[in-house]
Amino acid sequence: MTENSTEQALTPFELQNAPVASDASANPFRLVVDPAMRVRLRKALYDLIENHDTQLADYVANGQLALDSYKEYIEIFARSLRESMATTEGVNYLLSSCGFQVSPGEINLEPETRWK
């Protein structure tokens, strides 16, 4: 291997948390949401997942929850997330994490999806 090809193989790169600019015309689904908003929503979802995972782990560690398998853990985890997102509090958490202040009475838990 030559010196030049070794340098190419070891080229460093950085992972970035910043939103990636995308070309809406290159995407068949057109970008309709601001990339910064998508980053905030992903962070809010990640934090929500971490919170649920931590709480379930605490319940298991304290003997309050018995698990027979990883399958059962994932099922309980999914149920917990689903139940949280089906409440005004869960949706309000995401909204406030993205910078919106909405009263609980204004939250629509069953928004209409208007496909075109």
84 in any annotated domain: yes
**Number of structural domains found in the chain:** 1
51 in any annotated domain: yes
- In 26-87, where does DSSP find H-type helix? 35-61, 70-85
The pLDDT of residue 35 is 84
Do 55 and 91 form a contact (C-beta atoms < 8 A)? no
66 in any annotated domain: yes
82 in any annotated domain: yes
pLDDT in tens, 15-63: 555 555 555 555 555 556 788 888 999 999 999 999 999 999 999 999 9
Q: Which residue has the higher pLDDT, 4 or 74?
A: 74
40 in any annotated domain: yes
Q: Where are the beta strands (DSSP E) in 7-110?
A: none
Range of the domain at 60: 32-99
pLDDT in tens, 57-116: 999 999 999 999 999 999 999 999 999 999 999 999 999 999 999 999 999 999 898 777
106 in any annotated domain: no
The DSSP code for 78 is H
The pLDDT of residue 12 is 56
1 in any annotated domain: no
pLDDT of 4 > 60? The answer is: no
Q: Of 49, 73, 44, which Cα lies nearest the Cα of 59?
A: 73
